[in-house]
Structure 1
């Protein structure tokens, strides 16, 4: 490879990286609606077995939400769409829907970054710290690419009703909540 062609190679690499990034972000993830077969521990059971610290470091057993509909939002402070949807998630949690639905944020970052973020923004729902293990947990719910934000709607029966990759469309979410 000659130095004369290097700028062309770099330009081609940047174009392909941009295309790959765009396709990765805009890839549709099919909703997961089937439950795990009897006797097989599914992702919801795995979630209920977790005890995660909140932004202040207080351990929060997720089993306490068993029997209640949940909206589990996997997010990170460095994820712009995650941060953009948080005010609407807070309003949802604080409103009438919040009486029937537990909204939970599972942060994929360091405890110090999530604590700093939580101090800066007023979030009305539990924000828990999973670190990088949160990515693996979201993958169990069907987030094969590990993209964020990733949100899972779980019925009070413990069944996954729908998953959402990318910034939530709250009109669609409210329609889905009406079916619970």
Structure 2
């Protein structure tokens, strides 16, 4: 194979990669929409104003969680610490704390990846698809570098109680939950 053929093959490969990336970015399960949430301000208001598709593509308005304490976990399927903490988040959600606290996973990933991941693993809390706009939403809560996992503890009054960057320390989280 000569250098001319190699250059042509490389050019075709780049075109196919670009076309695949473009198609992947445009393929959304459902659009994220926003509505107003009365009585709550700042990033929590922005969060509650969102309607995001779940892993099955069904629109889920986050306003339904207003007035309840929430633990919002920003994650991605390719993030190993995110995946490692999911069993404990599921246990938290389905345990005693889950009666007073709504755990929500906001996936910063493609709808296809999240749907495949959700079908493979048993997650007991709502997993929503935000795509890359989830990074912008996490930044509003103070995640300036967009690191994952990023978790936000929100009181029933709509106030951010604490944020956690990196894999959760569940002993620390349980102490924080006791102060809600």
TM tier relative to shorter chain? 0.7 to 0.9
Give runs of ≥4 in structure 1 deviating > 2 Å. none
Cα deviation, residue 41, structure 1: 4.0
* Structure 2 residue 145 is matched with structure 1 residue 145: yes
TM-score for both structures, normalised by structure 1: 0.78
Distance in 1 between the 2:88 and 2:132 partners? 25
TM-score for both structures, normalised by structure 2: 0.78
The secondary structure found in structure 2 opposite 1:157 is coil
Q: Greater relative contact order: 1 or 2 (C-alpha under 8 angstroms, separation 6 or more)?
A: 1
2:70–2:153: 8 Å Cα contact kept in structure 1?
Answer: yes
Cα deviation, residue 87, structure 1: 0.2
Distance in 2 between the 1:87 and 1:49 partners? 28
Give the match for residue 104 of structure 1.
104
- Please list, as runs of the form range in 1=range in 2, the aligned pairs for 1:70-85 lying within 5 A after superposition: 70-85=70-85
Give the match for residue 13 of structure 2.
none
Distance in 2 between the 1:42 and 1:157 partners? 13
The secondary structure found in structure 1 opposite 2:105 is strand
In structure 2, list runs of 5 or more residues that go unmatched.
1-38
Distance in 2 between the 1:85 and 1:163 partners? 15
Deviations 1:89-119 (A, max 9, x none): 0000000000000000000000000000000
Give the match for residue 69 of structure 1.
69
Give the match for residue 12 of structure 1.
none
In structure 1, list runs of 5 or more residues that go unmatched.
1-38
> C-alpha root-mean-square deviation of aligned residues, in Å?
1.2
Give the match for residue 136 of structure 2.
136
Distance in 2 between the 1:49 and 1:88 partners? 27
Distance in 2 between the 1:105 and 1:48 partners? 14
Distance in 1 between the 2:40 and 2:178 partners? 29
Cα deviation, residue 40, structure 1: 9.2
Give the match for residue 4 of structure 1.
none
